[in-house]
Chains A and B, each alone.
Chain A
């Protein structure tokens, strides 16, 4: 049960951060107020959103926030789905669908907000993320699980960065900062569980490489002085012994 809570927190955290980011942008009346250069063009209302309040007054910063949040949600759906389909380890096969489910829920929330503000969102995942997906799809077995876990951990890192950005933004609203703090708390727990899973799967980044135990490949100059000294010592001891035995005879 505890593990399940950790898994669901992945999507919840990302959703909270995305919504916090959007709230932060929406909390500023104008682009100038938020310290962001004024928009040079207003976004055209999305289909069916022309009558919505605020339509046509969307700033570049808001559009960027919607785009990032939307892509984050799409990435969750895509990466989660792939983990469920292609994963071989139990943790990846169960964590994947959880991620995808929460990605879809997050996307619905973002789309609703975007429509209300007159921002049109595409349906396709960004080319960069598609390349990462194709990279993962080219793997199989344990290699897939390891790379998938690393990728999901990267997503967590991005989510943490997004939350910290909101916390460090002096223009972010109190509600946005509270959401970001909650998201960070959830992320910390989730990242710990993901790292545990990654450690069990050997998916962590190595800290060292030990690749040589024989010494046969090693070479070096053979020192002369120590063997000569040791040999001389043996000869002298032998000579002394011979001398003493001869005297005793």
Chain B
């Protein structure tokens, strides 16, 4: 090799090293994420042993939940007729979610779990799913779970993309199939690794709450999925 070529070879080697280092460090879309700062105290819905009548339930909470039978239920006091039972007002199947402060409105459809055990979230990010075995909108107990895609590979950004920016006490409305509208106020927001989403999110007992769920955290372009779930808890608005 000619001595005149040594500088060119040296420059070429430096070029290869720089190019290789740049390619190795290139993050692509992997560093992109949906960030959501935690908001409020630890959601009461996820506290151990949350039951109707606890502090979070408030004085107006109805002490009723599926499966609970008081020890003296069904007993007629001696010499008296059984007192007429007065059931709490039932809720309604939610058909529309709206966030007035964001100009967001989305149809709600009932969904269940798919065969793999994941919530069958509607494909369209403009539609959200209500976990049908859970509580009704305006129900006396349990969590109304509404989930939607934060975005979709084919349909773009979803309505639930606003969850990271919701603020405390912001109003969330659910319209029921019977025409009634139920108001909730944002109380808390948390994010969880997907594998660690608390089962209590789907609680059918305890004080009534609205739980909005979507995806967040780091987006993995390879698997086309996010690492985390973002959960916003809203409590029934006092009227």
Contact = CB atoms under 8 A, between A and B. Distances in A.
Contacts of A233: 14-22
Contacts of B41: none
Contact of B73 (A126, A206, A207, A247): A126
Interface string B154-166: 1111101100000
A236 B8 CA distance: 9
Given A217-B151, A236-B12, A223 B69 contact: no
Residue among A123, A133, A232 having the largest count of chain B Cβ atoms under 10 Å: A232
A131 B140 contact: yes
A135 B120 CA distance: 23
A234 interface: yes
A240 interface: yes
A147 B90 CA distance: 14
Interface in B148-178: 148-158, 160-161, 178
B72 A67 contact: yes
Residue among B25, B90, B121, B155 having the largest count of chain A Cβ atoms under 10 Å: B90
B105 interface: no
Interface residues of A, number: 88
Contacts, number: 328
A231 interface: yes
Contacts of B93: 138-140, 143
A128 B70 CA distance: 9
Contacts of B48: none
B232 interface: no
B112 A236 contact: no
Given A130-B85, A215-B32, A146 B132 contact: yes
Nearest to A248: B5
A41 to B, nearest CB: 8
Interface of A: 43-44, 63-64, 66-68, 70-72, 74-75, 119-135, 137-143, 146-147, 149-151, 154-155, 157-158, 199, 201-221, 223, 225-241, 243-244, 247
Interface of B: 2, 4-5, 7-9, 11-12, 14-27, 29, 31-35, 62-76, 78-79, 81-82, 84-93, 110-115, 117-121, 125, 131-136, 139-141, 147-158, 160-161, 178, 194-195, 197, 199, 202, 204, 213-216, 218-219, 221, 224-226, 229
Given A64-B75, A146-B133, A212-B150, 15 more contacts: A122-B74, A125-B85, A138-B92, A155-B67, A158-B67, A206-B118, A210-B119, A211-B149, A212-B158, A212-B215, A212-B225, A217-B157, A218-B226, A219-B34, A233-B21
